[in-house]
Structure 1
């Protein structure tokens, strides 16, 4: 009689690990403006580092009076997943040592990846897109540029959809395997236009066909009864969900990357 076939254990996804694993706080990330804790999370034989941001440690924001930073961080991940681009690290809303909060997989970035630069020129060189001129001291200015990189362009589209008010250089995490992640999405999804970003290099240019296809998929997922719409409803306000739909429709109608409207500072401060 033959031995019964052994079924290998199912691998645990990063989202399952974050949602179900045991959180152990290792320390505090001190340069964060709100409480951000470096933790390890362990579940079903898998362990990883993560960032846990409890709602109890959030500072109120006058221009984001509704919802929570944690909820918006998770909402950004949900939108990113529907695009298929995987631009936001796995992120969940869960209970933790200091109450409910956002838990996000820690990403080890490549320190020498060149995505932003200051150049002493009037125009960007090949492979770069202009952001604007910046003061560099002693009455001098330099041109701030970002790479003409497909990964950044996808992130610029995602930011336009989620209305990211704080896309800084330090929120860009390129990895050794060639991927690019964006982090710190706590000030997103406002019903008013608050897009502030360093990724203005494509402003006014036609959207790539790939982005148009992704936006059409988002429109379907955000429709009444759509899976994404239902998930977002548990994380942000109805007005913010409606505004997200409207931004997707506006991007599809124009077929172009958005431009600064002059009603809100276009670049976050500090930019890095």
Structure 2
């Protein structure tokens, strides 16, 4: 009988490195299960987030995703690895033939099934438009991002799966107490939330009175947990997709 794989304690072997990532990010394998590994020692300091805390924020984002019940974030946990403790996440095989977010010529924006976010110019001065699909799966991700205050929802942080599901990855800059929402998913601005989306927020709010708050207490600060609860309350009361706030850019850069 083949022994069961223990993702927490079995050896994590490195198989490659993702060099496009801003922080040290590796591909790995635990008993044949493919994972992404981000050691805390490889995190670059940020001026507005605590040092050595990005891995914890990624795990906190997974915990909130679980409370929503939408499987937005792939399984993510903290464990030791070849370069010390860090975040580990199950690898996802995205469909290379699908793009949930895209840049297209401004005169070729598709209609039904897509939402336009903004217009601009490419490196050759040609007018282009940032668009994303109009799907229930992507709407759920947008709601999730509002709640966790995601400061970096780039296009390539959205994994389009073959079955139509959409996973979100790279959640190290989340849960700030100040408004930090930067995302490419602005296409539903002002639209009312669906009953399913409101029910998801209700689940998070309920869990924040119990087990979820306990889990998050080991990962982010108390003030950040309170801010998370306040964002849920506000979004639930307004029941629609909010507009950008403040003077900062509403979209991340680069977009992808």
Same topology, TM > 0.5: yes
Q: Work out the CA distance in 1 between the residues paired with 2:162 and 2:109.
A: 30
Counterpart in the other structure of 2:74: 89
Give 1:29 shift: 1.3
Counterpart in the other structure of 2:247: 263
Deviations 1:82-121 (A, max 9, x none): 1110011110011112111001011111011032232423
Q: Work out the CA distance in 2 between the residues paired with 1:269 and 1:32.
A: 13
Structure 2 gap segments, 5+ residues each: none
Displaced runs of 4+ in structure 1, greater than 3 A?
A: 8-12, 121-124
Contact 2:45/2:51, CA 8 A, preserved across alignment:
no
What is the RMSD of the two structures over their aligned residues, measured on CA atoms? 1.9
Counterpart in the other structure of 2:156: 170
Match of 2:28 among 17, 22, 39: 39
Give 1:67 shift: 5.7
Three-state SS of the structure 2 residue aligned to 1:33 is coil
Q: Number of residues paired by the alignment? A: 255
Give the alignment of 1:1-272 within 5 angstroms: 17-42=6-31, 47-65=32-50, 68-117=53-102, 118-121=104-107, 125-223=111-209, 226-272=210-256
Larger Cα-atom Rg: 1
Change (3 A) 1:96 1:263: same
Deviations 1:12-63 (A, max 9, x none): 6xxxx43233201112211111111111012xxxx31101111111111001
Counterpart in the other structure of 1:5: none
Contact 1:67/1:235, CA 8 A, preserved across alignment:
no
Give 1:11 shift: 7.1
Give 1:180 shift: 1.3
Three-state SS of the structure 1 residue aligned to 2:182 is coil
Change (3 A) 1:10 1:78: farther
Give 1:202 shift: 0.7
Q: Work out the CA distance in 2 between the residues paired with 1:122 and 1:254.
A: 34
Give 1:258 shift: 1.6
Give 1:66 shift: 5.8
Q: Work out the CA distance in 1 between the residues paired with 2:106 and 2:247.
A: 29
